[in-house]
Amino acid sequence: MKRPGQIDLQPSPTPFQPARQRKRRLSIAVALVAIFMAVILILVFYPWNGEHDNTPPIRTMGVSISKSPDGSNWTLNFRRVPSGLMAVQTTLAVFRADGSVNLTPTAFSDLSLAAHGSLYVSDGNGEVDLGEMIIMETTWYAAGSKCQIAEASQILWSGTLP
């Protein structure tokens, strides 16, 4: 209650005050929705795969090693293969258990049983595909030898013959 001579510090309500509050709330809601949409668009379309910093994506292969039932061959079966891998650019290198070189990096397409004791078995389309394999003679490559599959200077897989 106001006494005579006392100043009222609270503004008297105007008929436009509720409309102003609604406009302000609507402006805040629109701004929040715009920020939310910008964040979603950045998360969806930003190249998180390394393109933004010119780092090439890491390429790897999945290979399983088995020995033939008669024990004469090792088989490297390709279980996971990166796309666009070409047989002329993909190499196999083999190192003996003591670290000496048994097979210098040789393109899959150049492997032969006569010259290298190993053979690339493929569908012949030039691209390395899932399910293809390399056969290696056990007389050339002993257990404990380390195999490396590479493309240019990037090693895609390495493993040891059991």
Sequence-distant contacts of 94-101: CB under 8 A, at least 24 apart: 94/118, 94/136, 94/141, 94/145, 94/146, 94/147, 94/148, 95/145, 95/146, 95/148, 96/142, 96/144, 96/145, 97/142, 97/144, 97/145, 97/146
Say whether pLDDT at 129 is over 80. Answer: yes
- Mean pLDDT, the chain, as a whole number? 87
Coil, strand or helix at 36: helix
Integer CA distances (angstroms), 106 to 30, 32, 44, 161, in order: 62, 59, 41, 18
Say whether pLDDT at 1 is over 60. Answer: no
> Which band of pLDDT confidence, cut at 50, 70 and 90, is reported for residue 58?
confident
Give backbone dihedrals phi and psi of 95, rounded to 5 degrees, phi first: -120, 135
As a whole number of angstroms, the distance between CA 138 and CA 94 comes to: 12
Convert the pLDDT of each residue in 62-74 to its tens digit.
999 999 999 999 9
Return the closest-CA partner of residue 73 out of 121, 38, 40: 121
Q: What is the pTM of this model?
A: 0.66
CATH number belonging to the domain at 62-160, selected among 2.60.40, 1.10.10, 1.10.260, 3.30.70: 2.60.40
Provide the residue ranges of all domains of the chain, joining segments of one domain with +: 19-49, 62-160
Measured in residues, the chain has a length of: 162
Give backbone dihedrals phi and psi of 54, rounded to 5 degrees, phi first: 60, 20
Convert the pLDDT of each residue in 136-154 to its tens digit.
999 999 999 999 999 988 9
Residue type, 20: R
